[in-house]
């Protein structure tokens, strides 16, 4: 069995990846700074599920704290791979505090690359984003589409992290898999993203704010598919950039209608101007993931949204109080 350093272990993707690795009998060294980029109660809920599991060790550290990273590596001289899922995420939030995004996404990645090359850790998996493709990418979007014109600091900080990974692969032969994730959703997801926010606001009869006319579309990707693909990326690949995304695209208006149907309630919608930092449409071309990893999405959109709705209703006592904006 292997030992994996998973950053962002209390995050949406990090927690699910950790659960799957632990279920396979591996050891997970989980790092998270438990920041308040979104309501921290949901991070504590995820962490509470991980902490009793055999093989899980939690470190309340920040990736910008280099001495803490070195101490951790000293305590665990054999780390087989780093899975860097820690990030400041969010298109609009990066407009308000771009420095936090640069610190976490770019400097944090640099610190992990240095940790890898100084301690003989030969593999790193990096979480990147579909936002890197900018305003008008091909549809569906392949990995070789232009990614040199990001629209906000979030995407720019992820592009910088990707470039650093390539440099360290070239200089030190660190094996790197970069995943560009497309709009991840599912139970216990990020409350600042559309899926959680829509379910909560419709269920509780609160006003639902929609930017634009709702005709924009997304290729949503279920959390279990993302976590499974991320683990497949631990295989030796050299340096590869791979999209992970859903195979079904849906407009915001149709998504709201689906959630209304599942909850048996109508949404009270308030429209706002379309945000210039947002993309109008996204959908991944995942042929490379299929060819390279044998991966393709398994969970259909309706099934995944129903899983989220069921989770929300089961956890409603506290989930209804989670801040979504």
The span from the CA of 66 to the CA of 64, in Å, is 6
| One-character DSSP codes across 139-192 | SSBPTTS--S--SSHHHHHHHHHHHHHHHHHHHH--EEEEEEE--EE-TT--TT
Alpha helices in 182-293 (DSSP H): 194-203, 223-232, 252-263, 287-293
The residue count of the chain comes to 325
Give Cβ neighbours of residue 1 (< 8 Å, ≥ 6 apart): 24, 25, 26, 27
Backbone angles phi, psi at 91, to 5 degrees: -65, -55
């993302």: which residue's tokens? Answer: 226
Distance of alpha carbon 120 from alpha carbon 175, whole angstroms: 11
Residue 62 near residue 102 (C-beta atoms within 8 A): no
Query: Catalytic: 222?
Result: no
What residues form DSSP beta bridges with 180? 128, 243
Separation between Cα atoms, residue 57 and residue 72, nearest integer Å: 11
CB 263 within 8 A of CB 199: yes
Q: Which entry of 154, 168, 181, 222 is annotated as an active-site residue?
A: 154
Angle, helices 12-23/223-232, rounded to nearest 10 degrees = 60
Residues with Cβ < 8 Å from 307, sequence gap 6 or more? 186, 187, 222, 299
What does the block give as tokens for 139? 């549809």
Residues designated as active site: 154
């Amino acid at each position: 069995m292997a030992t994996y350093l998973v950053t962002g272990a209390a995050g949406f993707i990090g927690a699910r990846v950790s659960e799957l690795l632990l279920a396979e009998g591996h050891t997970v060294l989980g790092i998270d700074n438990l920041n308040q980029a979104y309501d921290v109660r949901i991070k504590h809920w995820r962490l509470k599920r991980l902490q009793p599991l055999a093989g899980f060790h939690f470190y309340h550290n920040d990736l910008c704290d280099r001495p803490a990273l070195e101490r951790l590596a000293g305590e665990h001289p054999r780390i087989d791979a780093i899975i860097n899922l820690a990030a400041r995420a969010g298109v609009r939030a990066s407009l308000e505090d771009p420095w936090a995004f640069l610190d976490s996404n770019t400097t944090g990645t640099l610190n992990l690359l240095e940790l890898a090359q100084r301690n003989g850790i030969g593999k790193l998996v990096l979480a990147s984003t579909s936002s890197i493709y900018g305003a008008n990418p091909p549809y569906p979007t392949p990995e070789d589409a232009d990614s040199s014109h990001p629209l906000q600091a979030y995407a720019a900080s992820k592009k910088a992290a990707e470039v650093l990974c390539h440099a360290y692969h070239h200089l030190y032969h660190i094996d790197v898999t970069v995943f560009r994730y497309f709009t991840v959703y599912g139970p216990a997801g990020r409350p600042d993203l559309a899926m959680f926010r829509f379910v909560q606001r419709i269920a509780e009869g609160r006003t639902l704010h929609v930017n634009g006319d709702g005709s924009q579309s997304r290729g949503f990707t279920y959390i279990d598919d993302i976590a499974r693909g991320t683990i497949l990326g631990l295989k030796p690949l050299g340096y590869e950039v791979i999209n992970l995304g859903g195979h079904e695209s849906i407009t915001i208006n149709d998504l709201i209608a689906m959630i209304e149907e599942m909850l048996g309630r109508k949404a009270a919608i308030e429209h706002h101007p379309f945000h210039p930092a947002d993309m109008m449409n996204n959908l991944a071309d995942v042929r490379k993931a299929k060819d390279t990893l044998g991966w393709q999405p398994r969970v259909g959109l309706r099934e995944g949204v129903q899983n989220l709705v069921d989770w929300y209703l089961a956890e409603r006592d506290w989930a209804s109080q989670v801040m979504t904006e």
